[in-house]
Structure 1
Amino acid sequence: MDALKKAVGVLLPAMRISLALVMLSICLLFAAEMLGFMPDRSKFMLESRKQVSEALAIQFSTIAPDQDPHRIERMLNALIKRSPDILSAGIRLQNNQLIFQVNDHVKEWADYDSQKSTSTHLVVPIFRDSEKWGDIEFKFAPIAGESASDFLEHPSFKMAIFFLVVGFFIYLAFMLRTLKVLDPSAVIPERVNAAFDTLAEGVIIIDEHEQIVLVNDAFLKKIASPTSALLGKKASQLEWKSAEDSTTDVYLPWQTVLKTGKSSIGAHLKLTSPDNDTFKFVINASPILSGNDAPQGVLITLDDITEIEERNTKLQIMVSKLEESQAQVKEQNKELHFLATRDSLTGCLNRRAFNELFEKAFADALQNNLELCCIMVDIDHFKRVNDNYGHATGDVIIKLLAEILTNNTRKIDLVGRYGGEEFCVVLPGLSVDEAITVAERIRLRIKSESVARYETGPWVTASLGVASILDKPEDPSELNKFADEALYVAKESGRNRVVRWQLQNEFAEKVKTAPEPAEKNLPAPQPEAAKAADDCYHQ
């Protein structure tokens, strides 16, 4: 079937070209005849009849017609026998009387009413003593071509028919031979074509003019195009596009190979097939060199990576979605971790998370021989706040304390809600004196902030207990216990104060304050004392 299609694909163009050549030859033939380059048979016969009539006129003028009519008759009979194109003849007197005829001249001459000779009616005058005696009339057969039916007998028409029939087949045989010689596929032997057809990647071979002389089956099947549509066509005339879809000119590697004679490897191009399918190829181009090392063609291999690119695109989309999902999960985990480690009311560390971080900070301090302090904070008379102002106001006061603790500690410090209105603060790397300074600042801030924010109360204070890792606790819980005991002493000794834990339960106040005033008569905040505490502690 493929061989039949290929034969038909060659035969039909050859027939069209042959027919066109035949018609062109016929037109040239008629043009040559119109321009006078072809001999005209009708003109030749007309000239011949003219010469015959002139000879007869001279000859008959030497004969006395009235004395020797039989001689004239014999001459006419002999002339008609020797000239088959003379149909009839007759002698007519001046008075229009026909005195002699040959071959029913009356009938042949009946349609003639002129006194002048024509191509078919010839009148030869006969004179006697310089006077016209009569006429000899000859009826000739019509010259070919003078009538419409005679056109079929015209030599030019017969020549045209000859060209049309015989010339067509001669031209056809010539064109088939020519097309076979000029067929680009004939440049490559059939065994070479068969070898390239076994390759899985596409192969194109072009000549020095970029015309395709070979295409293997892998490439043809890929773009769903017949061989006849590609052979002889320039490779650059295919629908190539840049792999990056850029608007710049498309780089065709084989053009560079033809110019430089050097191979090109790894070029990426897109090709749109006649079915509007787009394929992406990795193209390698190698020169085919002549004897003088000049490129006379290019071997182009095309590796289809369309499916790989589609998979890579899908994979990139999946990776992007996965990264987005991971980011969402990470953010959700971060939120969950925050919720799991933070107190819902204050945002400070909850007790479990605080203890875990406390243990780590305690171990690091022991390992690196660093100082570590713990502060326990508790709001004074918090039950009165709940009783007098309600639990909602109590929650506000707890949040105020958490805010003050967070704002007056470092990022590396630990602030945790131990329970109710009680908080614990761990200060890595600070000495006990520095920790007391921080505690004092916190105490002053709580007192001043409550007075500044609430005009009618509640005005609250806080008691704080401070303990250090230098007090030699066995573990974090014992250090926390030391700070809690110091807090208990601060409560028992009048509240609104900071107490440092001492060995053998001998407590001493590091910061002395006046006895606790009544809640409604709290003194105004002392900015000088708060400023002094700020200067002693650098975050």
Structure 2
Amino acid sequence: DSYHGLVSAGWRGRGYGEFVGGTVFWIHSFYSYALIGFAHIVLIQCFLRAPPIYRRQSGMIIGGALVPLFGNALTIFHLSPLPGGDLTPFGLVVSSAVISTALFRRGLLDLVPIARDAVVERMHDGVLVLDSQNRLVDLNPAARTILGIAHLDVLGKPAAVAMAAWHGYSPDYLSMADFHDEVLIGNDRCVDLRISALSSKRTRLGGRLMVLRDITPLRQASAALQDANSRLRQQLIEIEVMQDLLKEQAIRDSLTGLYNRRFLEETLMRELGQSTRTHDPVSVVLIDLDHFKSINDTYGHGAGDLLLQTVGELLRSSCRGGDAACRFGGEEFVVLLPGTSFSVALQRADQVRQEFMALRVPFGEFKLHATFSAGVATFPRHGEDFASLLNAADIALYAAKKEGRNRVLGAQEIPV
């Protein structure tokens, strides 16, 4: 260097003196400072963009790197407070102390930002990137799995060609800036498809980002849930039917199918209460089969049951809207006739008696024949409550039996 002086142009002053750089030295220095300055600009940009949790790390690195740079600048521009001394080594010592403190006392680099490309590569959602001409430029492994793409030779090809394995693909997906819908891939895979236009803060890039989320398990679970709900609704309907059937069975006589005594008591009490308000009559007909014990003794209980069922069918067919035929117990029956006057009740009861008397009921090789007696009473004429009304009808029935059976008598016709 003593021949050309391009790096070191000599020393100035006595003693330690001051270093005088040559032309190449200054070119090298400015070049080095330009590189170091550019690196610090990048670090400062990272510092400004980084989330708050990472800014402390970037700030410590920037601060530690600036100390030796500042010492070196003071030295080469002859601004050092130590004549003839180089402050750069002292700056490196301070820089080492700052970064060491940051590493061992402040947790520098304990949290390291994860590379975004590594995150995308490990995502369960499929990610595809298209350029402005809708050519496939990138995709992650999840997208290859969802779309059935085996090789990366599809990169650079138009989307329709690159995704040929997607049988449900439609160019309409790319006809709008943004798209979101649930689509089918093949016959059994359902995905949530989102397509977004790629743009920066300054300009619109024209590319597109496609994100595919496989929701097949969710749809399968939803279908299974709907199926379970459907079965549950069907079961609830069956339960309601069973409940209605049980309610019906609770108020029905199992042999004749007529209402039972419990239903009679509840209905008659309700009808008497309504009649008290409306002043409409309520009539009851109490029926008892004649010589029923003799029929059981002669032909057996099967014949008796058959006659009871026959009476039940006859009473049920003779009822009008609002009437109720009930089996009171044994061979006794009660017909409730709301809104029916005493005289009409007598006529209807006697008509049923005549129809029953004319019947011949086949039972094996026999033809069963029987008659019944009946007593009629009307509220409030013959009784003001449930017990007194049925008692009046029972007295009339007893009188009909006493007079020879096979007849209908009303409560007022009882001989005094």
Aligned residue number for residue 91 of structure 2: none
Shift of the alpha carbon at 1:471?
A: 2.7
Superimposed CA distance per residue, residues 186-209 of structure 1 (whole angstroms, 9 cap, x where no aligned partner): xxxx97756756876433222355
Give the drift of 1:408.
Answer: 1.0
Determine the structure 2 residue equivalent to 1:446: 356
- Cα distance change on mapping 1:226 and 1:397 into 2, 3 Å: closer
Structure-to-structure mapping, 1:324-363, within 5 angstroms: 324-363=234-273
Q: Pick closer, same or farther for the CA change 1:216–1:405 going to 2, 3 Å.
A: same
The 1:296/1:367 distance shift into structure 2, 3 A limit, reads farther
TM-score by length of 2: 0.60
Match of 2:138 among 194, 211, 214: 214
Match runs of 1:314-333 below 5 Å: 314-333=224-243
CA distance 1:494–1:295, shift in 2 (3 Å):
farther
Counterpart check, 1:434 vs 2:358:
no
1:507 corresponds to: 414
Over the aligned positions, Cα root-mean-square deviation in angstroms equals 3.9
Provide the C-alpha distance between the structure 1 equivalents of 2:357 and 2:212, rounded to a whole number of angstroms.
83
**Which stretches in structure 1 are left out of the alignment for 5+ residues?**
1-189, 242-249, 273-277, 509-539
In the TM superposition, what whole-angstrom CA distance separates every residue of 1:312-334 from its partner, at most 9, and x where no partner exists? 12212322333343344444444
Q: Which residue number corresponds to residue 381 of structure 1? A: 291
- The one-letter amino acid of 2:136's match is I
C-alpha change, 1:488 and 1:308, in structure 2 (3 Å) is same
Distance in 1 (alpha carbons) for counterparts of 2:206 and 2:173: 10
2:126 corresponds, among 190, 195, 202, to: 202
Matches within 5 A, 1:72-471: 193=117, 201-216=125-140, 219=143, 228=152, 231-236=155-160, 237-241=163-167, 250=168, 252=170, 255-259=171-175, 261-271=176-186, 278-288=188-198, 296-366=206-276, 369-410=279-320, 412-450=322-360, 457-471=367-381
Aligned to 1:495: 405
The answer (yes or no) to whether the contact 1:238–1:271 under 8 Å persists in 2 is no
C-alpha distance in 2 between matches for 1:326 and 1:442: 42
3-state DSSP class of the match of 1:373?
strand
Letter in 2 for 1:449: L
Kindly tell me the number of residue pairs found equivalent between the two proteins.
299
Query: What secondary structure is seen at the aligned counterpart in 2 of 1:483?
Result: helix
Deviation at 1:229, TM superposition (A): 5.9
- Contact kept, 8 Å, 2:377 with 2:393, in 1: the verdict is yes
Q: Secondary structure at the match of 2:380?
A: helix
CA distance in 1, matches of 2:182, 2:384: 72
Distance verdict in 2 for CA 1:301–1:429, change over 3 Å? farther
Residue 93 of structure 1: aligned partner: none
Residue in structure 1 matched with residue 394 of structure 2 by the alignment: 484
> Aligned residues: percent identity?
31
AA in 2 matched with 1:256:
D
TM-score between both structures, scaled by the size of structure 1: 0.47
- The 3 A distance-change label for structure 1 pair 267 and 390 is closer
SS of alignment partner, residue 318 of structure 1: helix
Cα offset, 1:233, TM superposition: 4.8
In 2, the alpha carbon distance for the partners of 1:465 and 1:499 equals 5
Residue 289 of structure 2 contacts residue 373 of structure 2 at CA under 8 Å; is this kept in 1?
yes
* Higher alpha-carbon Rg: 1
Residue 311 of structure 1, CA deviation: 0.9
The CA deviation at 1:389 is 3.1
Specify the alignment match of 1:61 in structure 2.
Answer: none
CA distance in 2, matches of 1:211, 1:368: 87
Q: Within 2, Cα distance between the matches of 1:420 and 1:310?
A: 60
